[in-house]
Amino acid sequence: MVNTKGYRRGTRYLFARKFRRHGVEHLSTYLQVYKRGDYVDIKGNGAFQKGMPFKFYHGRTGRVFNVTQHAVGVIVNKRVRHRIIPKRINVRIEHVKHSNCRKDFLERVKKNRVLRAEAKKAGIKISLRRQPQGPRPGHFVKLNGKQVPELVQLPKRINVRIEHVKHSNCRKEFLERVKKNRVLRAEAKKAG
């Protein structure tokens, strides 16, 4: 059984029923109303071989383009190399459920309608666009008697060979600067 090419190969767990979910299908599955234009999630139910989608379409979301007595026609986008093909498949309703992909959008549309009507009555202009979340508001932090550590930038360490310095005055200044930097570094280490 190496490199099998069966229609349902590799679906041992894909179409398997969940633990304690075997048996007769609930009637609520058959009482769902599907209309053209609805978005549906395709999920193959292993208990029903009739009208089962091919394994590629399992877990995909599509749009209903046709409704029949026991099934629905769904348009699903399939990527084939460099292009996306809208595939039309017929799936029985046991393998389909309503999608929540447009739930937030439809709720926002309803809310915007109400806001628009209220604004029209009040005679004001409002923006119905979604705004990005701004920064958090300022607040005070309780220290409970603790000290706030002050972060200090350490002075930059300069690695220069003294042999390259020609003039004696320059060398003196340089040595003074080196001493000063050492003192500053030592103080910074003691502080934190």
> What is the CATH classification number for the domain harbouring 18?
2.30.30.70
H helix runs in the chain, sequence order: 103-122, 168-191
Predicted confidence at residue 166, as pLDDT, reads: 56
> Is the pLDDT at 167 greater than 90, yes or no?
no
Other CB atoms within 10 A of residue 64 CB: 19
Query: Which among 59, 44, 60 is positioned nearest to 8, based on CA atoms?
Result: 44
| pLDDT confidence band for 191 (50 / 70 / 90) | confident
The three-class DSSP label of residue 61 is strand
Q: At which of 124, 149, 181 does a domain end?
A: 124
Predicted confidence at residue 3, as pLDDT, reads: 86
Residue 119 resides in a domain? yes
| pLDDT confidence band for 163 (50 / 70 / 90) | low
Predicted confidence at residue 176, as pLDDT, reads: 86
Q: At which of 97, 124, 151 does a domain end?
A: 124
Same domain, 39 and 112: yes
Comparing 179 with 115, the larger pLDDT belongs to 115
> How many percent of the chain have pLDDT more than 90?
71
Same domain, 93 and 166: no
Same domain, 42 and 111: yes
Measured distance CA(87)–CA(60) in Å, rounded: 12
Comparing 180 with 120, the larger pLDDT belongs to 120
Same domain, 105 and 174: no
| Structural domains counted in the chain | 2
* Segment 70-96 mean pLDDT: 98
| pLDDT confidence band for 171 (50 / 70 / 90) | confident
Same domain, 3 and 55: yes
Report the mean per-residue pLDDT for the chain: 91
Same domain, 9 and 71: yes
Residue 21 resides in a domain? yes
Same domain, 116 and 42: yes
Residue 94 resides in a domain? yes
Same domain, 13 and 102: yes
Task: Give residue 187's domain range.
Answer: 162-191
Phi, psi of 87 (to 5 degrees): -90, 140
Residue 145 resides in a domain? no
Same domain, 115 and 22: yes
Residue 144 resides in a domain? no
> How many percent of the chain have pLDDT more than 70?
93
Q: At which of 68, 94, 124 does a domain end?
A: 124
